[in-house]
Structure 1
Amino acid sequence: MTLRSAIGRLAVIAIAALFIVVPRSPSYADPSPFDTLLGSWGGTGEIRLDKGRKERLKCNAYYTGGGSDLGLAIRCQSDNYKIEIRSKLSYSGGRLSGNWEERTFNASGTATGTATPSKLSLAIKGGGITASMLVNYTKASQNVNISVQGVALQGVRIALGRS
């Protein structure tokens, strides 16, 4: 073995040891804001209509997916109204995007917004509707507030707990 090949081998061993000994920076993925929501929820709320009319609601919500994807279904019913909202959302870098539909009134459109580990904030457009939806949540409870412009339905407020 020549001096040159011995130095070459030593250099290769030193570089390999450096990769083994030097700790690598951990790479952390964005934590999903959706994981806390997953599962079934139930509760009550109120539908607000034009001219100050209000009705009590009984509601169920279901969240599926996780990671960067969330499917949601919220079903509410009062004595005179039925609401069924469905949405599929994607999360990336704190931003939300996706689609929504309200099955009772056959309306659909897009949803965009932001997410944190305790709040979703959405702008909803389409089907002649412009609305905002705010969901504040913990592991045990959530509050959903939907405000609508331009139609007789002015909004929905719902308080939910784990089913």
Structure 2
Amino acid sequence: AGIAATESSAQSGPFAPLAGSWSGSGTVTLDDGSTERIRCRAKYAPIGPTMEMSLTCASDAYKFNLGANVKAEGGAIAGSWSETSRNISGSLQGRGSGGSYELVASTAGFNANISLKTSGNKQNVTMRADSQFRGAHISMSK
């Protein structure tokens, strides 16, 4: 019964559809307009209304390591993020539940819009930014 209760708490809450490890591929667009194929891995660890996540993506010439800690209250989501390979961090805000989220990651001189949509064992992540990194489209599965 103790194991079932633990799994139940991880599987309820606004981030439950994301729980676990995901992998897939997509493209990243750079400021010169060029695109590169990327391979990605994500891990989501929700506990009730909070979640820790990590997303690592790499191409032949480009890599990013994104981590975040977020909390949901009602439909609002707030938290912090960091990108370790560039040593930057900032705030994360947005809305969402049930596997569909619209977020904005910000720090001084950088803003990125992040759309994350999950249905069953499929997930699509779209990022658009105003920096050297212009955006990414990633499709992953569990």
Count how many residue pairs are aligned between Structure 1 and Structure 2. 131
Counterpart of 1:153 in structure 2 is: 133
**Runs of 4+ off more than 4 Å:** none
Larger radius of gyration: 1
Of 17, 23, 30 in structure 2, the residue corresponding to residue 42 of structure 1 is 23
User: What is the deviation of 1:33?
Assistant: 2.2
CA distance in 2 between partners of 1:79 and 1:127 (Å)? 28
Counterpart of 1:81 in structure 2 is: 62
Pairing 1:56–2:46 present: no
Of 83, 88, 91 in structure 1, the residue corresponding to residue 72 of structure 2 is 91
Measured against aligned partners, the alpha-carbon deviations of 1:90-140 in whole angstroms (never above 9, x if no partner) come to 001110000001111111000010012031111111142111111000121
Q: Which runs of 5+ in 1 are unaligned?
A: 1-30
Amino acid corresponding to residue 79 of structure 1 in structure 2? D
CA distance in 1 between partners of 2:22 and 2:99 (Å)? 16
> What RMSD, in angstroms, separates the aligned Cα atoms of the two structures?
1.1
CA distance in 2 between partners of 1:57 and 1:94 (Å)? 31
Q: Which runs of 5+ in 2 are unaligned?
A: 1-11
Contact 1:111 1:124 in 2 (8 A): yes
Between the aligned residues of both structures, percent identity stands at 30
User: What is the deviation of 1:65?
Assistant: 2.3
SS at match of 1:32: coil
Matches within 5 A, 1:1-163: 32-149=13-130, 151-162=131-142
Which of the two has greater helix per residue?
1
CA distance in 2 between partners of 1:130 and 1:50 (Å)? 14
Counterpart of 1:25 in structure 2 is: none
Higher relative contact order at CA 8 Å, sep ≥6: structure 1 or structure 2? 2
